[in-house]
Amino acid sequence: MTRIDLHCHSTASDGTLTPSELVRAGGAAGLDVMAITDHDTTNGWAEAAAARPENLALVRGAELSCRWHGAEPAISLHLLAYLFDPTEPQLAADLVRLQHDRAHRAEKIVELLRADGVDISWPEVHGYAAGGSVGRPHIAQALIRAGLVRTTSEAFASRWLGARYFVPKSDLDVFAAVASVRAAGGVAVFAHPNATVRGRVVPDKLIADLAAAGLFGLEADHEDHSPAERAHVRALADDLGLVATGSSDFHGTHKTVQLGAFTTDLVAYEKIVAAATGAPVLG
C-alpha cells in the first residue's frame, strides 16, 4: 500500500521541523509520498528537495490563504496548491503579498497584546519563525513561554488569538486564487472544507461554483473533520467529479496529529500528478 500525505508544514511557515527535518521525518514515518505545503510560501522547497530521502517522492506545494466574499462577513478558507510553477508572475506576486501581510498582521497582534500588558515582544515572536513566514502559532509560542497558556490550541481560543486579539488578513479572493494556480500549471484542492470546528464553512453551492472554475479536489480525511463531515465531503467530491484527498496537516509539535495520520489514495494522487504541468514530482 502506497502511503501518501499531501498536507505538511515546516518552519518555512508555522511548522516546528525544518524542511530537511520534515522530509526525513516523512521517510521515517513510512511515507512513500509527501507534500510540503507551507502557508503562502515556497521558501522551503529547495531545502526539502535537497534533503529528500531516496525512497520518498516529494510534491512541492503551498497552502494559500483565501476568502469568499459571498457572505457577510467574508469567510476565510485555505486552498492547497500543488505542483505549480513558482515563477509564474501572478501567483508569485500573490505569494509575496500574502507573506508581507502575514508579518504585518502578526506584528499588529503583538502590539495589541503588549498594549494590554502581555509580556511578549515582536523580536521574540519573529525569532520563533526562524526566518520563515510569521504566523499566529509563533505568537502562541510566546504566550506559552510567558505562562499564559499551556498549548497552541489554548492560545487560539477566543480569549486570546481567536477573538479578543484577532486581526484579519488580506487574503486572496478564492476564485482568483484558483485561476492563478491553474495559470501556473498547478492543481488546486480545497483544504478541510467542512471543518465546522474551525468556524463558519462555505455552502456546497460555492464548492460547485469553484469546481466549475477549475477546482480539482477536496480534502476529505482531516483531523478537523468529523466522520460525518468526511463522508459529506467525499460524497460532494463524487457528485462534482472532484478528487477526494486525505492528509495529516502536520505542523510538528504545534499539533498532536502525526505524519500519515490521514492519507490520500493512489488513484486520487495519480490524477493530481497527471493534471499538473507546472512542476514535477521529485523522486
Domain CATH code at residue 154:
1.10.150.650
Distance in angstroms (rounded) separating the CA atoms of residues 226 and 217: 19
Per-residue model confidence (pLDDT) at position 175 = 98
Q: Based on the domain organization, do 76 and 186 belong to the same domain?
A: yes
Per-residue model confidence (pLDDT) at position 137 = 87
Residue 1 binned pLDDT confidence (cut-offs 50, 70, 90): confident
The predicted-structure confidence for 99-145, as pLDDT tens digits, reads as follows: 889 889 999 999 999 999 999 999 999 888 887 778 888 999 999 99
Q: Is the pLDDT of residue 9 over 80?
A: yes
* Domain contains 282: no
* Domain contains 281: no
Q: Is the pLDDT of residue 158 over 80?
A: no
Give the domain range for residue 157: 107-162
Q: Based on the domain organization, do 188 and 85 belong to the same domain?
A: yes
Mean pLDDT along residues 75-100: 95
Among residues 167, 193, 171, 6, which one has the least CA distance to residue 95? Answer: 171
* Domain contains 283: no
CA-based torsion, 169, 175, 178, 181: positive or negative: negative
* Domain contains 158: yes
Identity (one letter) of the amino acid at 19? P
* Domain contains 178: yes
Listed residues 162, 186, 201: the one ending a domain: 162
* Domain contains 177: yes
* Domain contains 102: no
Q: Based on the domain organization, do 177 and 258 belong to the same domain?
A: yes
Phi, psi of 136 (to 5 degrees): -60, -30
Q: Based on the domain organization, do 243 and 117 belong to the same domain?
A: no
Q: Based on the domain organization, do 222 and 270 belong to the same domain?
A: yes
User: 21-42: string of b/e by CB count within 10 Å (b at 16+)?
Assistant: bbbbbbbebebbbbbbbbbbbb
Phi, psi of 34 (to 5 degrees): -140, 155
Q: Is the pLDDT of residue 162 over 90?
A: no
Q: Based on the domain organization, do 117 and 202 belong to the same domain?
A: no
Q: Based on the domain organization, do 118 and 40 belong to the same domain?
A: no
Beta strand extents in the chain (DSSP E only): 4-8, 33-39, 57-68, 75-82, 172-173, 187-190, 217-221, 243-246
Q: What CATH number is given to the structural domain containing 54? A: 3.20.20.140
Q: Based on the domain organization, do 245 and 111 belong to the same domain?
A: no
Q: Based on the domain organization, do 146 and 221 belong to the same domain?
A: no
* Domain contains 69: yes
Per-residue model confidence (pLDDT) at position 97 = 93
Cβ neighbors of 44 (< 8 A, separation 6 or more) are 10, 11, 12, 13, 18, 19, 22, 36, 38, 132
Q: Based on the domain organization, do 68 and 19 belong to the same domain?
A: yes
Q: Based on the domain organization, do 140 and 249 belong to the same domain?
A: no
Per-residue model confidence (pLDDT) at position 55 = 96
Cβ neighbors of 150 (< 8 A, separation 6 or more) are 144
Q: Based on the domain organization, do 181 and 243 belong to the same domain?
A: yes
Residue 46 binned pLDDT confidence (cut-offs 50, 70, 90): very high
Listed residues 162, 179, 200: the one ending a domain: 162
Cell of 142: 510566546
Write the burial class of residue 228 (CB in 10 Å: 0-12 exposed, 13-18 middle, 19+ buried). exposed
Mean pLDDT along residues 170-197: 97
Mean pLDDT along residues 22-31: 98
Per-residue model confidence (pLDDT) at position 131 = 77
Contact 78, 64 (CB under 8 A): yes
Query: For the chain, how many structural domains are there in total?
Result: 2
Per-residue model confidence (pLDDT) at position 220 = 98
